[in-house]
Structure 1
């Protein structure tokens, strides 16, 4: 895979150009070049499986199977059979031979999600497979060689699990050859506009898309996002249902965020509406005491909010120029009086893929 194609693939799979995401993409490039086991950590919903898919895609195994399994979702009595397979008649209900996931992933990658939930007795068997590259089906007596790259992931603190004897230290070191930490969404809030545009692009298209105002985006950037990217995707889908074809203002954020934070917004917004009718530009999002509201009239917020608006405006202008020029970059650059190379740099900064232009990308209003 050429460097250009690699960059484009990572840009499609890992949305955002924050410093955290740039660092993550750099680590993934190194991980893709090796064949070592990988341990991905990070909070639930942060995108660990997407990272695993990206590593597989850019590796030499990219055309071979990539099989994902949630270790916490498998019944303890069935996990060995699922991973390593079983022979016909090996236990009650085993009416046919079953090829396990490790065999199915031969020459490819197996992604063991929530590895911290794997029973200790299974951890011993997994360690043996990692060390010998051989599996034995349940009820069988034949060694079956497998060539599988293992990527594991967990939201747990495995150091604490090792102390509590719920996770084997030897397995940890065998898996954690290349450690990768996926940042929480609240550590890369500048990526939220690009993520929203990405999720909007992949809506089913049955209804007109909502348009997020700049103030609403700032409010979303101030939210803590306990559910991370998964929660943001849910919010975008909810917005597509309740605000189809409408502009989402800062006061509408309460409807989208179902949490104590949202309740605080609702309470204060309701109080404000009883005293006077606010224009859309006057409406700001109330926050818990530990956070400051994004009040654009306050001097301490001016620089941050101005930068946010400038970034949104720059992205909108670029997308409009590309749309008008039907995706011809040189023509788009001339229309806004900048060099073609400068436009390409800005497109990369804003995570704009000029090969697949889509009007959805500028459904973020300013």
Structure 2
């Protein structure tokens, strides 16, 4: 039995080493490829196992894993494989309006691993290369963008490019995961995040397209010299304007000014401390406040967490719902006498809210269900009561 076990382990090790060498041979990133080859040369079987003993799964949340070499990590090769599979799925399964051509929109956040030259932006460029090789025009949004803008763009980019049908959207982000992670969210042609069985169909296409279609390494090197020419600056600006115009026309009801007049002179209006949690949200939150008519004095941004920083230096875990994540915002709020905290996660598709009691000084951090209830109540007061049609509210669980 011992001899059999020895040969089995030895056989598995040889197979694993061959798998690692084959992976390195098609990896377009020389840093991750050389790292794998170095592990092979030094016969570091346990480390190779950690990188190659399986494959990252693709599901309704797309991909999400640590930025590192191998099929279990987020790297250039796993992203190009996912993009090739997504491209094939879109070409085969998403109908195109008569006479129009397919298009996809891609956004990215600020995640990065300098040791391996991996980043959300690089993954977004890889995605664009794969899509355009498959004959799908790709609009790469300019600069760091929030995830909701990508979902919105899937529905509205066709208003700018009228000869195209938008078949999908990709947001390269690890959302509120730890700093070492990256991710790849996919939005369907209706602007919603993919659901079952679409995810299984895409995963199947990925499995059939693991070999790179062309020399991505050479293409990426060419892209390094293009600077801003890769991104759709014009479309990004137009889509942002459309996004905030939609907010202004559909959500702004003039209630900020009206509410303040309902109270007596002793009433003190609430003020907000906002944090982007080292993510992309600050400029977009400021513009949203302006759309609702809030003056600059209405809010204060946490300076140390205002700008995108892939190291997330002031939080151990960049999820605003985690215990301790709002400590810095709370300190500033107490110092300034503010009552509320609004916090986005790094890709600005999650909102946390906390309120300080003026009587006790104690903080209440609202759950997602409570925030949803408050928003639902506001929607009912603002729209439902005055609707000429029957009103329904839909809640989903995740």
TM-score normalised by the chain length of structure 2: 0.22
Larger strand percent: 2
